[in-house]
Amino acid sequence: MDEKTAHLVRMLHESENIVFFGGAGVSTASNIPDFRSSEGIFSRKLKMQLTPEQLVSHTFYMRYPEEFYQFYKENLLYPQAKPNDCHIALAKLEQMGKLKAVVTQNIDGLHQAAGSKVVYELHGSVLRNYCTNCGKFYPMEYVHDAKGVPHCENCGGTIKPDVVLYEEGLDQEILSGAVRAIAEADMLLIGGTSLVVYPAAGLIDYFNGKHLVLINKSVTAADDRAELVINEDIAKVMKESVDALETQQIS
């Protein structure tokens, strides 16, 4: 174990109210592309002369539902994705009674699949979809398997993913819960995010606890505010540190 990971283990050991705030980099080990990395969706050449942001915007969804769903199904739905070592390590940390909440910008539902119970999904979830007419909910598979625009079996209304599209606001109840969790934490662990998407990136400003840790492959604007910065793969770092923490508790 290197010095930085050992430092992280010590902080995890002494902290009792940890909150994890994560982004797309958390799920790359589950083969879900990071929107903003060199291999991510935002760097791909698209056949249409539109940015990915425009393709998943509220305006595009309303005006061009066929094209919206074509892009959405091809680039944002990964039904075969499984939790990776980071998701699993965070669930273990919660089971230990140390991690009190996960705040995520991701929409893949993998934190819950790994066993995490308290998860604030800032941008919603692809696992939930609802009829815009009657409100009936549908699973991801229904949308994934539908030809073209998915419609409600009950009333024929258009089904919309329960995700926050560009131009849409965050759910205020979820945002308030995330802010409260971060404000009460004694340790904030930030991972897999470049901290450039607002308002989510501004949540770091609510932290007043003791330990601020950043785990990301590339540098972020908040690196100079952190007690510890680790520029490595978050799945590897989290598995190693939580495994070491478990060993300490057992011994």
104 phi and psi angles, rounded to 5 deg: -130, 145
Element (H, E) at 180: helix 172-184
DSSP letter assigned to residue 251: -
Q: How far is CA 15 from the centre of its chain?
A: 23
Active site residue 123: yes
Peptide bond into 65 cis (omega under 30): no
Task: Using CB atoms within 10 Å of the CB of residue 211, give its burial: 0 to 12 exposed, 13 to 18 middle, 19+ buried.
Answer: buried
| Contact status, residue 227 vs residue 190, Cβ threshold 8 Å | no
Please pick, among 87, 111, 123, 211, the residue that the annotation labels catalytic: 123
Active site residues: 123
